[in-house]
Amino acid sequence: MIQTWLDPWLPVHPPRAPRARLQPPSNHYSVRDLFLPNKTGWNEDLIRELVHEDDVNLILTQKLSQSQNKDYLGWHYTEDGKYNVKSGYWLGTHLPNPDPAILPPGDPQLKSQIWNLNTPPKIKHFLWRMLSKALAVNTELERRRIVTDSYCRRCVTMRETTDHLFFTCSHARQIWRASSIPLPCLSNPQVPYETKIKEIFEFHKNAGKDTLQGQLPLLILWRIWRSRNNLVFQRRQYGWWRDLRDASHDAEEWITHGINNQSSTTSMTSAPSCPHQRRWKKPRPGWIKCNYDGSFVNQNNGATAAWIIRDNSGVYKGAAQATGVNVTSAFEAECQSLILAMQQLWVKGYRRVIFEGDCKLLVNVLNGSTTKFDAINWIQEIQDWGKKFEAIEYSWAHRSTNQPADILAKNQRNALSPYLVHFYIPVCISNALFLDYIGSA
């Protein structure tokens, strides 16, 4: 079976696959799919829809066998289709210089790096479209005469090029600045956007592909695009801080749970209409609830942890934040924060506790519904601490209902002391705690 977009089946020099008009369809078409249903000829309409206009005739002029033969892979440079050394030598000395006019847009080497990124598939496709100049930014639409006005809808002072939208518009600049990603070239309008993307790919690799820092720039790009579309198509304007927050949530979600947050569109639009679905629940009478969270930056910095203690009336009983040892993953950071929380609650004399965290995998492992072999020592330590309590439960909460612990754990990243116990409600979580309190009433 010859694959339409991969195999070099067009009879040009050198033979190659046809170029797609926009983006190769994700299901792999074989060349056979381009035939008419009765296989008597090419399906011209379909070909014109999918294939770059310059290649359409190359396909249509190829004669199809009228009897059903098997595909035959031949050597293009000899009459009989069989390879020989002489023709191989000829090919080696006659390969044309790639002509920029006929190559698909974008740096092929840079595009090929996309598939080595550790990021959700939808982000890879989005980056592929960006680097192939297939994102419908206004200047691109103007070039294709789809729109007449190419100004950026956000700042309305500059034309919306890819570079402007993602890097040099004030909205984008704010996000990059606040993200503290150490790539000063990003805000420089003199640097072409492909170079910036190259720097981001490098950074992704060097910061660690499964670290928050390594993930963040890729997800920022995605959020800027989403936010731009919300503005253009739905007239919804989001502040830069919201895009940054969503990008870092996406990043955490991906490295902690490997979740390709496909449903984020639906969850974001449905969240306001059903605010009661995700809310913090008070523990049953006789129990204390401890919400914990771990925060992982990279292997060279201690993971941080935080936990909040509340009773069955939802009343705050204390909180703490701590910096633990260096760990190798977000999962281990979760384990460590749980252990630190268990130790402190035990010392404070609590004996019937529900420990609630937002890492589903960890909760499932602790409840015995799955295993995680490479974290066996962490799990063992948690279970040993668990045995000291009279009664213990491990429950899972969606990230959005574990906000106070999440905020406090991140707050610890900038803390001067490795361990802080809060008898009073820390200011940074007072709002989130208040929302939990009224939500659970």
Binding site for Zn ion (CB under 5 A): 152, 154-155, 169
Give the residue among 9, 61, 13, 48 at the shortest CA–CA distance from 32. Answer: 9
Q: Which is nearer to Zn ion, 2 or 231 (CB)?
A: 231
Q: In this structure, are residues 283 and 311 in contact, taking their beta carbons and an 8 Å threshold?
A: yes
Q: For the chain, how many helices (H) and strands (E)?
A: 17, 6
Nearest distance, CB of residue 230 and Zn ion, angstroms:
15
Q: Which is nearer to Zn ion, 171 or 204 (CB)?
A: 171
φ and ψ of 74, to 5 deg: -125, 165
Q: Is 318 left (phi over 0), alpha (psi -120 to 50) or beta?
A: left
Nearest distance, CB of residue 139 and Zn ion, angstroms:
12
Q: In this structure, are residues 278 and 398 in contact, taking their beta carbons and an 8 Å threshold?
A: yes
Q: Which is nearer to Zn ion, 117 or 169 (CB)?
A: 169
* Ranges assigned E (strand) in 205-337: 288-295, 302-310, 316-326
Nearest distance, CB of residue 175 and Zn ion, angstroms:
12
Residue 127 has a CB neighbour count (10 Å cut-off) of 24
Nearest distance, CB of residue 220 and Zn ion, angstroms:
16
**Strand 419-422, strand 391-396: pairing:** unpaired
Q: Which is nearer to Zn ion, 152 or 335 (CB)?
A: 152
Q: Which is nearer to Zn ion, 154 or 399 (CB)?
A: 154
What SS3 state is found at 101? coil
- Alpha-carbon distance 129 to 350, whole Å? 54
Token readout for 127 is 């980056």
Q: Which is nearer to Zn ion, 163 or 210 (CB)?
A: 163
Nearest distance, CB of residue 171 and Zn ion, angstroms:
6
Nearest distance, CB of residue 105 and Zn ion, angstroms:
23
Give the residue among 400, 335, 389, 392 at the shortest CA–CA distance from 361. Answer: 335
- Alpha-carbon distance 234 to 226, whole Å? 11
The H-assigned helical ranges of 258-305 are: 264-270
Q: Which is nearer to Zn ion, 186 or 327 (CB)?
A: 186
Nearest distance, CB of residue 141 and Zn ion, angstroms:
15
